[in-house]
Structures are given as structure tokens and as C-alpha cells.
Amino acid sequence: MKLRTIIVDDESLARNRLRKFLAQEPEVEIIAECANGPDAIRSIREQTPDLIFLDVQMPEVSGFDVLRAVPASGLRAVIFVTAFDQHAVEAFEVHALDYLLKPFTRDRLREALDRARKHLQPALAGAFQEQLQEWLHSSRTDSNFRTRIAVRNGTQMLFVKVTDVDYIESAANYAVVHTGSGNHIVRETLTNLEACLPPKSFLRISRSIIVNLDRVKGLQSSPGGEYVAVLQDNRQLVMTRGMREVQERVEYS
């Protein structure tokens, strides 16, 4: 069975080089290529690959941020790829299978693939999941995420505290940050913002809305059979994610 693989690197030349090397490996199937952290988060969540080649140093959302933003169940094997060897220590602390320093050779890549194949055997996979879960749990603190969001107000740049946010709504390639004092348009996608906000406080309840759990005072069903999150000011937000998950997150947030 082929290794379903995702390549994540913000440099197109680096992605091309890795793709050419992997094309010569008959047991590897590339199912996605991502040029930034938010795209990687979305692809990993949707496709649950066997193996991820993950660049460490990416703007705004790093390789480590990607790991913190996806379910550990979606991370079976990770090989870091980077030009910065000072990241090696942290890479092995998060139990990456291997660490490729650019520019690497085809033989070095094959060595990493051999380790991946052995590691993905059922007898070893469970240990990796357990170690990764432990690291993710210990590393997911608010210090890893944004405390403020930069918004533009005319010619001024303002900084909104994330604790002041009620919810964030998608608007194509932009997002609208809703607060008690007004709304602000941000030149970022909802997926990018989701990766940068503390997950214990913010939850994506639909394709287009992230809500601050501290603003949710209750959940209720609507006449149309949908569920809605009721905010402290009685605004209602339609939920399309599982009711049980939202309820548990609100109860224990």
C-alpha cells in the first residue's frame, strides 16, 4: 500500500525538488502540496495522510503551529524539512520521524522514507500517537497563539484583544471580527485566523464562523432543525458542527 503523503513548504523550488525525488519512489503517493500553514492545516484535517513532509520555518503559521492546530489523530508520521538546523532539537522533541536539512540528497530522503515505513507498522504507530498527544497537550498554551488581532480603521492600524472578540465571520478572502464596540474587516482568511487563536477559547462552529466560547451563554434548536449558539447579547449563530462537541467545549471552557 502506498504512503499517502502531503508536502508542506512555502518555497516553490523546495516543493518541486521534493516532488521530483518522491516521484521516483513507487510506494509514495502525493495527495496534496501546501505553500503555507493554513492550507496545510486544512489538507491534513480533510485527508489524514500517512506521512507529512513539513517545513519548519514558514511565515505567520510555522510547521510547529500546524502540528498544534490539527488533531493528533491526523498525524501518523512527520518528517521536518528546513534550512535551519537550529530547529532540530525542537523537531525531535515533538517526535518527528526524521529531520531533513536543505539541500538534502535523494539517498538521505530514502533513508527518511525507510524510517517512516518501519514506524508506520501497527506495533509502533501507537507509541508515536501517545508521545505526540503528550507534547501537543503540554504545548497548547495561550502563549503559542495571538493575544491581539491587527485591524485597519481608515488610516490607522488598531489592535483588538482576542478576549474582546465575540465571533469572527468569513467574508471570502477576508474576515469580519465582531466585538461589542463594533466590527472590523481583517485581510486574513478564517482558516488562517483559526490556526492563530487559542483553541481552548475559540471554536469553529461552522464553515464560516469562529466563536469565542466565553461569549456563548446557551445552545438551542431552531424551528428549521438546526442548532444555534446563543451569545451573551442574544445574537444567534447557526452551528453546522456536531452538537455534542460544541456542548462539551462550552461546558468545559
Q: What is the pLDDT of residues 152-180, one digit of tens each?
A: 777 777 788 999 999 999 988 889 999 99
Proportion of the chain above pLDDT 90, given as a percent: 35
Q: What is the pLDDT of residues 220-244, one digit of tens each?
A: 887 777 788 899 999 999 988 656 6
Which range (12-16, 182-186, 241-245) has the least confidence? 241-245
For the segment(s) 3-140, the CATH number from 3.30.10.20, 3.40.190.10, 3.40.50.2300, 3.30.470.20 is: 3.40.50.2300
Whose CA is closest to 77, among 5, 2, 136, 14? 5
C-beta of residue 250 within 8 angstroms of C-beta of residue 230: no
* pTM for this model (two decimals): 0.55
Mean pLDDT on 54-71: 81
Mean pLDDT on 64-88: 76
Which residue spans of the chain are classified as CATH 3.40.50.2300? 3-140
Angstrom distance (rounded) from CA 148 to CA 159:
6
> Which has the higher per-residue pLDDT, 98 or 107?
107
Class of domain 144-252: mainly beta
Torsion of CA 151, 207, 197, 98, to 10 degrees: -130
